[in-house]
Amino acid sequence: MTDATLGKTDRPREWEATKRVRRRYAADWRLQAYGIIAIGLALGLLGILLVSLISTGYQAFVQTNIDLEIYVDPAKVDAKDPAKGNFRAVVRDTLTNIFPQAQSPKQKTELTKILTADAPYILRDYVLAHPESIGQRVVLAVPASDPFDQLNKGVIPKYQDVPDGGAPGSAPTRTVNPRFSPLQIEAFEDLEKKGLVRTPFNWGLFFNADSRFPERAGLAGAITGSFYALLVCFLLSFPIGIAAALYLEEFAPKNRLTDLIEVNINNLAAVPSVVFGLLGLAVFLGFFGLPRSAPLVGGMVLSLMTLPTIIIATRAALKAVPPSIREAALGVGASKHQVMLHHVLPVAMPGILTGTIIGMAQALGETAPLLLIGMNAFIPSVENIGLLDPATSLPTQIYSWADSPERGFVARTSAAILVLLGFLAVMNLVAIVLRHRFERKW
């Protein structure tokens, strides 16, 4: 066979090889394109979520306050027993002195609705803390009521155009928003002209307990309840999870029983959280009779849910430890117990801490199991919250606010979600820092 014949015979093979290479490169390019598209979609959806939350919730981080100079009348507040003073009348008299045009009881009531309904209690708490203020004039920053807070932030319009029922094409009539009276609008505009209306940062969102009034509602009770529940969850799931993982990975014999346990642990990690809530409702509340809505019960339920995650993460960290460490420790006479505690466990600790914090972050965002055990109590004060006292948590507080009809709770719901996401981001950042801090390179 001549060289020319050989060349003609080999060309189809070269063309086929070239086509296969091109197809392989095209498949690689498509795979990369799919990955880039997936990442782009994920980032886009995350951006939409954050933009939606920020655009709705940023208003809750500022609060409309009205600086009032209040005369604590000794005739209405007795210095011997200030707690029984008529603080509602003191607040009403203060507004009447600023706006003397309000003469009738109805007009005076309309003026008091500019302020939060908790204004008398704010004044009472101040007088109890400062009894020397009786008979003096004090300046207090009193939150505006939710309608006027929304009015000041531009959420609710001050005026609205009503179509004129006269001739076609006639201009609409501009009237005051039906939610307000002309006297209230006049008084609020006068307060703005006097510079008494301010919108500072709303520290009450973090340091106030829950309230029926949006302008006074805060997350202090929910944060405290979540802290106690996570503390119980950590104290239970961290040592038990590490001990179980150490036994299963290093000491347990390989037989059908341990295989069954391992399969069940992997399956429990995928069980919906509401199942753990039902288990806690039946066992901790029904059988043991523990108090409902208590952070102790919430923490125990969350620890049941977190344990499989910690065990799996701990076993993976133990498997990643180089066998040479075990062999070297055994070679110098260490017992297996000493090898595990003094050599293997410290090396695996970065992975263990990472899995633990990720599991705790997952527990922080759980709502269904806490709702089933009733950990969504209305907490107007954080002074009496303990492990056995009724409490709420951040996710259940968000659920409660989202179900409230007041407009002000819409912004506070989004703000609470942002706070929860902030805590989750901090916990994941701590996991990364701890991993790099304790990581050992070989």
Q: Is the pLDDT of residue 422 over 50?
A: yes
* Residue 31 belongs to a domain: no
- Statement to judge: residues 267 and 372 lie in one domain: yes
The answer to whether residue 1 scores a pLDDT higher than 50 is no
Q: Are 286 and 316 within one domain?
A: yes
Residue 404 within a domain: yes
Claim to verify: residue 425 and residue 283 sit in the same structural domain: yes
How confident is residue 226, by pLDDT bands cut at 50, 70 and 90?
Answer: very high
Work out the average pLDDT over 419-426. Answer: 90
Does residue 26 fall inside a structural domain?
Answer: no
- For the segment 413-430, the average pLDDT, to the nearest whole number, is 90
The number of distinct structural domains making up the chain is: 2
Residue 11 placed within a domain? no
Q: Judge if 281 and 409 occupy the same domain.
A: yes
Residue of 322, 300, 318 lying closest to 242 (CA atoms):
318
With beta carbons less than 8 A apart as the criterion, state whether 382 and 227 touch.
Answer: no
Please check whether residues 176 and 280 belong to one and the same domain. Answer: no
SS3 304: helix
Give the residue with greater pLDDT, 337 vs 222: 222
Are residue 187 and residue 293 in the same domain, yes or no?
A: no
In a domain, 43, yes or no: no
The CATH code of the domain that includes 377 is: 1.10.3720.10
Q: What is the pLDDT of residues 346-362, one digit of tens each?
A: 888 888 888 888 889 88
H runs (alpha helix) in 247-344: 256-268, 273-280, 295-319, 323-331, 336-339
User: Domain ends where: 142, 168, 201?
Assistant: 201
- Whether 116 and 254 map to the same domain: the answer is no
* Domain of 102, in residue numbers: 62-201
Considering the domain boundaries, does residue 51 fall inside one?
A: no
Question: Of the candidates 126, 133, 139, 123, which has an alpha carbon nearest to the alpha carbon of residue 86?
Answer: 123
- 35 occurs within a structural domain: no
Does residue 285 share a domain with residue 378? Answer: yes
Q: Of 167, 201, 235, which residue constitutes the final position of a domain? A: 201
Instruction: Please tell me the distance from the alpha carbon of residue 194 to that of residue 152, in angstroms, as a whole number.
Output: 15
Task: Give the pTM.
Answer: 0.85
**247 and 357 in a common domain:** yes
The answer to whether the CB of 92 falls within 8 A of the CB of 112 is yes
192 & 250 share domain: no
Residues 297, 285 contacting (CB under 8 angstroms): yes
Q: Mean pLDDT across the stretch 155-171?
A: 67
Predicted pLDDT at 158: 82
In a domain, 50, yes or no: no
Q: What is the mean pLDDT of residues 133-162?
A: 87
Residues 226 and 179 in one domain: no
Contact 91, 123 (CB under 8 A): yes
Phi, psi of 74 (to 5 degrees): -65, -20
Could you read off the pLDDT of 73-116 as tens digits, one per residue?
Answer: 888 888 888 888 899 999 998 888 888 887 888 888 888 999 99
Task: Choose the final residue of a domain: 201, 232, 262.
Answer: 201
Q: Are residues 147 and 245 both part of a single domain?
A: no
